[in-house]
Structure 1
């Protein structure tokens, strides 16, 4: 079986939920003896790798333009996939899915993974939102098989397009790598068990400005707020967020992976995700895998995880977020044990492999 993957910026160590999903999934599928190639956007790669953990990597030049790069890259990737003799092209996200009919016309089978209704993201204008909705329609209508990462998305596709045969395959989370990194904590100026962790891209729908505002309003003593992440495209929102964070003593780590990230996840007092839009947030699943207390907005994707009611606050309600955050900060350090069995990447890889085999 020859599988070509597009719709992701690339792997490994590239920021983004789809990128993390692909980084975990495709080496596991390759380990089953499947020939897997991920086509990357060259402007995001920081290496000259041709292969990683059994996955072939091909870089294609793509203009780094927010509104055009995904569709241009996908077009070039589909043409490349045809030349490589792909049996199946696996397209991730609704923007790239706009070109699903092209892949079908060229004789390839298509698997489309819907990671969330990106047209709800605040960063897109009217034209982009229209094209994303059209991409969702093209992917859902013309893909041979459709994967959804949550029941919320499945319900959308049934309601809007009457597609009732989608495969529910959750995002996963790897086993936690519990570790200490005192030198890094000293560099950041934080203490083990005495900081709040946020972790995501700096885009409006993540509502990090609400987290910073909520933290600034409360009695947090010497507890710190640490935010891990950055933005792909520096804009007014990300610049204002960084300015706001600096003015309120928030610690920004930038985009981090590996031991630095694992140490922050191992020792945080709680994890906060105030998003107004998610598919099924890998960052939340990661925090849960480290047994962290979590505080998240009550959007459908977060509610689907099934946390206790005290772990949710009304999306956009900074006062409720402040009050719940203060309660956690002033209470003794504690952990929570979650059932993570349905988020096992090895089992998820088998589910996706079965979908490939069915084609």
Structure 2
């Protein structure tokens, strides 16, 4: 039996890993085991699609994620799992025991080099780097969601990793008519400094170009400061988080182009989702975004550079290339086949 560990759980109601698990499940496939955070689900069904659900009474994120992942692994061992898919490295300290005392196959997606993120303090970064090292060295198979991360794994640890990204075609809603394209740019992300939100807002406000930006503005001092600074702008519209697929579809289909500021984390789900809409994409210039878009996006590095690239939009449309890459690489059918080939 395959056990999947390291997410909040299913049905998916959270982020990229949860959406991945949602799309690995199918009523017609062999049964498998998915671990869920009991604190996130008021209703706790025992089964979902072809998965048996097991609940751990801890948060799947933050400091509790360490114990959450470890307890999930121990329970999977107890229940006779033959393969474990571990999403993230929080609980990697348990993996040497799994390798020494069982014959379970361990496949680990190491996520986006979490220890590099600015939001973590010194001790958290040290722990996450140690966990990453153990995960890479003690897993039978290492999965990287981006070629730039695979290159890092090779240079840092001398190990090969399988590159499997995320699907984005779930963002296309067949029962909702696309919006007529309007004269606004769209941005969407967690409001964190590493996503360069301040840079994007400054450029659009300075150029007096319309921008709708969706994010969790009230979750940090950084976000609250940006909301206070731009809440009265005539050109920048700050929208609270939107989780409804239909509402997101309307925003994405109606925008003129998309601006992506992420500078860390590998292949970002919101980017590959947007690529399916065939819109021109401007992305922050980093190895992850270049790998995800096969160097075909328009790239910017600072406020002045972004302003220059915005002036080139009509001559540098890349929407067709974005759509072609997404259809070739970022569908859930392809991603699922890639994962199950590893399990087999």
Closer, same or farther: CA 45–325 of 1 in aligned 2, 3 Å: farther
Q: Secondary structure at the match of 1:304?
A: helix
After superposition, the Cα gap between the structure-2 partners of 1:100 and 1:64, relative to the gap in structure 1 and judged at 3 Å, is closer
Structure 2 residue 96 is the aligned partner of structure 1 residue 110: no
Matched with 2:201 is: 212
Report how far residue 129 of structure 1 moved. 0.8
| Secondary structure of residue in 2 paired with 1:336 | helix
- 1:106 Cα offset (Å): 4.8
Q: Are positions 1:318 and 2:303 aligned together?
A: yes
2:230 is equivalent to residue 235 of structure 1: no
Shift of the 310–64 alpha-carbon distance from structure 1 to 2, 3 Å rule, reads closer
Query: Displaced runs of 4+ in structure 1, greater than 4 A?
Result: 307-310, 330-335
- Aligned CA distance change for structure 1 residues 195 and 4 (closer, same or farther; 3 Å): same
Describe the superposition over 1:229-280 as per-residue Cα deviations: whole angstroms up to 9, x where unpaired.
438x933223323334424342313131321111112111111111221211
- From 258, 273, 282, give the equivalent of 2:245: 258
Residues 82 and 274 of structure 1, relative CA distance in 2, 3 Å threshold: same
Query: SS of 1:254's equivalent?
Result: coil
> Cα–Cα, structure 1 residues 226 and 22, in superposed 2: closer, same or farther, change >3 Å?
farther
Deviation at 1:117, TM superposition (A): 0.9
- Aligned equivalent of 2:268: 281
Partner residue of 2:9? Answer: 10
Where does residue 146 of structure 1 map in the other structure? 142
Alpha-carbon distance change, 58 to 200 in structure 1, aligned in 2, over 3 angstroms: farther
d(CA) in 1 for partners of 2:55 and 2:195? 29
Counterpart selection for 1:336 from 307, 320, 344? 320
In 2, are the aligned partners of 1:99 and 1:138 still within 8 Å (CA)?
no
Query: 1:85-125 deviations in whole A, cap 9, x for unaligned?
Result: 21111111233334322333452321101222111111011
Query: Matches of 2:288 and 2:252 in 1, distance apart?
Result: 21
CA shift for structure 1 position 335: 4.6
Q: In the alignment, is the contact (CA less than 8 A) between 2:192 and 2:223 conserved in 1?
A: yes
In structure 2, do the counterparts of structure 1 residues 310 and 289 end up closer, same or farther at CA, with 3 Å as the change threshold? Answer: closer
1:64-90 CA deviation, whole Å, 9 max, x = no partner? 873x12212111211221232211111
Paired with 1:65 and 1:348, the residues of 2 have a C-alpha distance of 24
TM-score (norm 2): 0.87
Alignment of 1:1-359 (within 5 A): 2-24=1-23, 26-28=24-26, 31-33=28-30, 35-45=31-41, 47-63=43-59, 66=62, 68-107=63-102, 108-164=104-160, 166-174=161-169, 176-177=172-173, 179-180=176-177, 192-220=181-209, 223=210, 225-230=211-216, 234-248=219-233, 249-306=236-293, 311-314=298-301, 317-325=302-310, 327-328=312-313, 335-337=319-321, 338-339=323-324, 340-357=327-344
Number of residue pairs matched?
336
Q: Does the Cα contact within 8 Å between 1:14 and 1:44 map onto a contact in 2?
A: no
